[in-house]
Structure 1
């Protein structure tokens, strides 16, 4: 939309308008609708009246106010529907992601390495520090991919570890 980088501040309102008035896949609604409870009137609809504009212009003001009040009362239900839509979308994305996940085949009694993500504030070895800590025996496998690992003294770590660690 712009020929050079100096014009982008002038184009931001158009980009924001496009974002706010386009339907989001996750919610199934536009951000404008979720905030204001009604769809935005596009600027082109003021020049070339659409059916929505023609119908609203013929409605008496008292009826329009009552219809607007009713739509605002229904706004919480619309937001709740958007919330349900987000949950379904997240489950769909999770299913698509989990199709690519391969089980690791770890069972109780196996020896595993644990990733060492807790780095010291100053580690002089830098990128040469080890990424893994010792051998641990898988004591118990919990639901959701969590495992209980005891340290060398037989004491369990404070928190369970994930299979990806």
Structure 2
């Protein structure tokens, strides 16, 4: 996040070290979507005083400068007592935000309709030694038999000889395998 702020405010690559304090200030004093609060408030229990508020006093600064010190200390103590409640609200806000993100993600997930006993192909993600086929090599291996579907989308697979695969696979790395039927199946 700070790097994206630095990219916006640095016009030359040599100036970025001098702009770090400004980028950090901007990050710490802007409201985070996940918490609904600024990081500065969650740490210190009060909103940061912007540098411009010192030059041109805002209403908040004027009111705080006119109250007696005893009343200011009492108000500060009360705000610190309420800080735990604000932090709990921020935590609740984070949990709601995570659920919204999860719902948005789950809308895009396509169910592949894979169940125990189906034949599937598995996506090859690991880099293999140099393959002479190059970019024309197959991205899928198998077929495998789905032995058991575990919680969280993990799947135990078995090859067609009955040997279990050592590691479970994710459902998103599998697709159904439909064996060829008809006159062309004898050619294989």
TM-score, normalised relative to structure 1: 0.81
**Structure 1: how far apart are the matches of 2:63 and 2:160?**
76
Q: In the alignment, is residue 11 of structure 1 matched against residue 16 of structure 2?
A: no
Gaps of 5+ in 2: 1-8, 174-188
Are the structure 2 counterparts of residues 71 and 156 from structure 1 closer, same or farther at C-alpha, using a change threshold of 3 Å?
Answer: farther
More displaced stretch, 97-106 vs 14-23 = 97-106
> Residues 138-159 of structure 1, C-alpha deviation per residue, up to 9 Å, x if partnerless?
1233443332323455354455
**Structure 2: how far apart are the matches of 1:48 and 1:63?**
24
> Counterpart in 2 of 1:148?
156
TM-superposed deviation, 1:107: 2.4
TM-superposed deviation, 1:87: 1.3
**Structure 1: how far apart are the matches of 2:169 and 2:91?**
31
TM-score, normalised relative to structure 2: 0.73
TM-superposed deviation, 1:131: 4.5
Gaps of 5+ in 1: none
Residue among 86, 91, 96 paired with 2:104: 96
Q: Secondary structure at the match of 1:13?
A: helix
TM-superposed deviation, 1:77: 2.4
What does 1:86-165 align with in structure 2 at a 5 Å threshold? 86-117=94-125, 123-125=129-131, 131-152=139-160, 154=162, 156-157=164-165, 160-165=168-173
Are the structure 2 counterparts of residues 142 and 125 from structure 1 closer, same or farther at C-alpha, using a change threshold of 3 Å?
Answer: same
Q: Which has the larger radius of gyration?
A: 2
- Matched pairs, number: 163
